[in-house]
Chain A
Amino acid sequence: MEESDNQLLDRYARGEESAFEELVRRHQRTIYDLAYRMLENHADAADLAQRTFVQAFLHVGSFRRESSFRTWLFQIGLNLCRNAIRDRARTTHENVEDLPLAASSDIFKATAEAEVRDRLGSAIRQLPERQREALVLRVYHNHAFAEIGSIMSCSEGTAKANYHHAVNKLRKVLVGGEGEV
């Protein structure tokens, strides 16, 4: 039977290095995925994922186990992502509201598929920070809204509202404002 994260943390606290390796291996893909979704390039995502684990193990003594270790990793990773995105924002000033709305018929053109992907990526990048976080945690990591609230340090309702706003903004950017697909 597979050991729980808390059992591995206990072993790590006793100095068993194999527990460290197992914990990192268990969560490395998830945290890398989160970082990639937020930063959208491999180098930054790899660096941020590593820093997330470094911070976690550096401060493992302050982890009270009120949430899961995975949730804690998400909290650390998301904080690091916020800082990285804010650093980037000092050099770029686009806003999702400034993106031109798509013509309703464009979405059906075969040649427009790549353009839609680009527009989607661009629109996600330019969502407000909290909306983007809620979107990534919900769509790609299948977190319940209560857990998203825990990770983002807000209420379940706020997490849900952020997610709904994000989806609605993307819908406007991708398929225009008139409701036609």
Chain B
Amino acid sequence: MTCNEIQNLTVSYLELDLDPNRVHQVTTHLEMCLACRNEMEAVRQVLVRLKGRVVPDPAEPFWREFPGRVRVRLLQARTDAKEPTSRAQHFFSPVSLPRWSWALAASVSLLLGAWLLIGGQFFGKSPGDMFTRGEGAPKIEATNNGHGPDLSDVAEVDWERAWDDDDQDMVLVDMAARLDPRILDRLFKDI
């Protein structure tokens, strides 16, 4: 066998991972070759040093408490698996908002949309202009110090409770009824 072949078998030889015939060949070569004997010894030193590396043993309380800690983390992992969404995700989830708030938002959007549309068609001005400077505009600013329609009546009602307790269609009618009647007249007279 050549020295290169021997060096490829060094680890296996030291690990007793060769068949007997190979072991005999390597041993015979080593008896005659100083370089390969040195190489064999160098690898043996590495293995000895590797084996000598110990892991510091944590104190006994660590091992005593270990299963309990695993159990706690396992329960936590199972809980997390059942609740995949975080609180933040839940907060922003559409389904987490109450239905009455969606109805209110839709109603207000509808009214505002109609207001913008009608105001623009008839006066060619923005609603702000219409209510503050337009000649034919109703003088609603007087009801709210010039800051647009007064919605304080709408905001004061507990719509959430009303939505749950009352007929929901009637709640929507009630919401609309609490808007300033002059706004409603203006909005719907041409529809």
Contacts and interface: CB of A to CB of B under 8 A. Distances in A.
A121 B50 CA distance: 9
A179 B42 contact: yes
A41 B69 CA distance: 19
Nearest to A28: B66
Interface residues of B, number: 31
Interface in A34-93: 36-37, 42, 46, 49-51, 53-54, 57-58
B50 A175 contact: no
Nearest to B63: A28
A1 B71 CA distance: 26
B49 A174 contact: yes
Contact of A46 (B43, B47, B58, B74): B58
Given A21-B67, A24-B66, A139-B51, A181 B45 contact: yes
Interface string B25-50: 00000000001001101110111011
Contacts of A160: 17
Nearest to A165: B11
A9 interface: no
B56 interface: yes
Interface residues of A, number: 40
Contacts of A42: 56, 58
Given A28-B67, A58-B77, A175-B42, A168 B50 contact: no
Contacts of A58: 74, 77-78, 81
Interface in A104-125: 107, 116-117, 120-121, 124
Interface string A1-43: 0000000000000000000110011001100110011000010
B65 to A, nearest CB: 10
Contacts of B56: 42
A155 to B, nearest CB: 16
A174 B70 contact: no
Interface of A: 20-21, 24-25, 28-29, 32-33, 36-37, 42, 46, 49-51, 53-54, 57-58, 107, 116-117, 120-121, 124, 135, 139, 145, 160, 163-164, 167-168, 170-171, 174-175, 179-181
> Top 9 nearest A-B pairs by Cβ distance?
A24-B67, A179-B39, A53-B70, A36-B55, A21-B67, A175-B42, A171-B46, A54-B73, A181-B42
Given A36-B55, A50-B73, A168-B43, 19 more contacts: A20-B71, A24-B66, A24-B67, A24-B70, A28-B63, A28-B67, A29-B63, A32-B58, A42-B58, A46-B62, A50-B70, A51-B73, A57-B74, A107-B45, A120-B50, A121-B53, A171-B42, A174-B45, A179-B42
